[in-house]
A = this chain, B = another copy of it.
C-alpha cells in the first residue's frame, strides 16, 4: 500500500521565491503537487479552469463554506479564495504530498482542521533583500513595495506556530531544504511507530 502523502503548508512574503523553489523541487521528485484553489474571480487570459484555479460562482463558494468543504478560505480584493478539502484529500490518499501556498491566517485554519499538516515558512535572507528583489521586478510602485514589506514584517510576528523555516539564500539550497523537510515529515516517530509493534 502506498503511504499517504503529507499536507505541506507553505507561507511567506511575496517575492520570497516560493514558486521558483517549489518548481525546482518538483523537477527532482514526482510525489509533490500543488493544491488547486477555488476562486470567485473571473479567469484571466490564459488561465485554465482546474489547473490554475477552479473558477466558481459566489453562490457555489458560499455553499462550499457552509458545507465545510474548504480547508481554509479568505477574501482578497472583494473576491473569495479557498482550498477544496476533497481535492486535497484525494491527492493525499493517492500518496502525493500536496503543497498549499497560503497566508499565515489560512495556515492557522488548516492547522486547526488538519493537525498533521507540515507548516513551512519561507523567507528571504532579510527584508532588505526582499526589497531589492521586489524593486528588481520593476513591476511595482515604491508604495506597493513598502506595503508588501510592512505586511511581510507583520506575517513574521504571526508565524510562530510554523514547524519549519526555509531561508531562500539560493533557489537550489531552498529547494533541497524543502525536499528534505517533505522526506523527513514521512519519518516522524509518532506517525510511524506502529511499525515497531
A interface residue numbers (CB < 8 A to B): 119, 121, 123, 125, 156, 159-160, 162-167, 176-177, 179-181, 183-189, 192-193, 195-197
Contacts and interface: CB of A to CB of B under 8 A. Distances in A.
Given A156-B197, A160-B189, 4 more contacts: A165-B187, A167-B192, A177-B186, A180-B183
A147 to B, nearest CB: 19
Contacts of A160: 189, 193
A166 B183 CA distance: 11
Nearest to A164: B187
Contact of A164 (B177, B179, B189, B197): B189
A173 to B, nearest CB: 10
8 contacts: A160-B193, A163-B188, A164-B189, A166-B187, A179-B180, A180-B180, A181-B184, A184-B184
